[in-house]
Structure 1
């Protein structure tokens, strides 16, 4: 295990949360590669902690779909598969459509102003930010829509899906050719919501998700074609 990531201590967080955040970021950034085994002893030594917070973090990462427990082998970083992408996006499409419908009815002027501000931040990130900044600002744009629904249960369900979506969102944004398209898609959603045009807003949101599925599926296939036997296991 020759990764460069290290634990960043935070006096306000319990150690288990610090370790979880460290490993999660390492997976999302690709510092821990898909298929790579997560050895508790090695990770504990690397991060300078005991095995207990490592074990707790791995269990939590498994719940998010970022880690798989393999019988007789232990934990490994989950591969990005077309099926898992399709499963997540099928759920997101349904929830997003409901969120758009409620937002179209309930968004206040303040919500719309905030959505415009988030779009400006997203555009700046596209022009000069890192992939993670782009992914986080993309997420923040959609959060305004979700919160504007006023439906706590829907927001909770979308937040539960957020962690699984983040990896695919990051994979999508890594494709530089699609970044301008993303800005345009956001503009379509924003303008439709401003005009309270439900059919246009739903169509724009659906195209946004469909394009993500097409692009990430293509990336997954290319990675599978290029990967060498045994690569990703260290």
Structure 2
């Protein structure tokens, strides 16, 4: 993990423990700190150029927010997302994104739809050469634009409250599950439905897209379980 901590200190008047907390949380969300990875206070303090106290305080806060698990006599570890956790997240996403697509098909402007098409084209054209980080960034832009196009502030508030859970899932999905070709197919179908101002079909494809991801996870779970047996 390469530290960018000195950059974070520039013009930042937050308490040191908050700066360290945000740095570590972002490292977890980006997948730079992997599920199951041990958080060594001394090692982190040396990398970030701080004492162990703000590291310890940040780890405690991360534990309270579910990002870190404390294991007796072993220490602090980045909390894993179980398959059950991921499927729970997907159940929520299925309905929220289905509703977003339904409303976006009615409310997005033509200019916004053209921007959505541009994101889709970039995803399709650069798919083979894109890094995992670029895939995740484009996926976030794609879904965020549809959600914003819903013009429903309450829906956006709910989605933003779950943003970090969605982000952790995306890192795991793009790292572990290889059926990315289907993502392009469903993204294309969603864009076409929104462009055609067909809210029911947009909702259907948005929800089927999430169901496809759920099925691939269950398949992955079954495959890995058979290996363990």
Same fold (TM > 0.5): yes
Moved more, 172-181 or 81-90: 172-181
Moved more, 163-172 or 47-56: 47-56
Aligned residues: 224
**1:99 to partner: Cα distance:** 1.2
Q: Which residue of structure 1 lines up, in the alignment, with residue 200 of structure 2?
A: 199
Moved more, 131-140 or 158-167: 158-167
1:210 aligns with 2:187: no
**1:211 to partner: Cα distance:** 1.7
Q: Answer yes or no: is the 8 Å Cα contact 2:36–2:78 preserved in 1.
A: yes
Going from structure 1 to structure 2, the CA distance change for 1:106 and 1:63 (only over 3 Å counts) comes to farther
Structure 1 length as normaliser, TM-score?
0.80
Q: Answer yes or no: is the 8 Å Cα contact 1:7–1:19 preserved in 2.
A: no
Q: How does 1:114-153 map to 2 (within 5 A)?
A: 114-153=115-154
Going from structure 1 to structure 2, the CA distance change for 1:168 and 1:57 (only over 3 Å counts) comes to same
Post-superposition CA distance 1:118-150 (Å, at most 9, x none): 212322442211101101110100111111112
Going from structure 1 to structure 2, the CA distance change for 1:222 and 1:162 (only over 3 Å counts) comes to farther
Going from structure 1 to structure 2, the CA distance change for 1:27 and 1:216 (only over 3 Å counts) comes to farther
Distance across 1 between alignment mates of 2:92 and 2:100: 12
**Residue 4 of structure 2: which of 2, 7, 23 is its match?**
7
Structure 2 length as normaliser, TM-score?
0.81
Q: Answer yes or no: is the 8 Å Cα contact 1:5–1:26 preserved in 2.
A: no
Going from structure 1 to structure 2, the CA distance change for 1:56 and 1:207 (only over 3 Å counts) comes to farther
**1:182 to partner: Cα distance:** 1.0
Distance across 1 between alignment mates of 2:19 and 2:224: 31
Post-superposition CA distance 1:127-186 (Å, at most 9, x none): 211101101110100111111112222112212222211222223223574222111110
RMSD across aligned positions (CA): 2.9
3-state secondary structure, aligned to 2:179: helix
Q: Which residue of structure 2 lines up, in the alignment, with residue 231 of structure 1?
A: none
**1:39 to partner: Cα distance:** 3.0
Post-superposition CA distance 1:81-137 (Å, at most 9, x none): 111101111111121122122212211112111111221232244221110110111
Moved more, 87-96 or 67-76: 67-76
Query: Structure 2 unaligned runs (5+)?
Result: none
Going from structure 1 to structure 2, the CA distance change for 1:176 and 1:33 (only over 3 Å counts) comes to closer
Q: How does 1:1-234 map to 2 (within 5 A)?
A: 4-10=1-7, 11-13=10-12, 19-20=20-21, 22-24=23-25, 26-28=27-29, 30-55=31-56, 57-59=58-60, 61-62=62-63, 65-70=66-71, 74-174=75-175, 177-220=178-221
Post-superposition CA distance 1:37-76 (Å, at most 9, x none): 3233331123212334434543554466432344665532
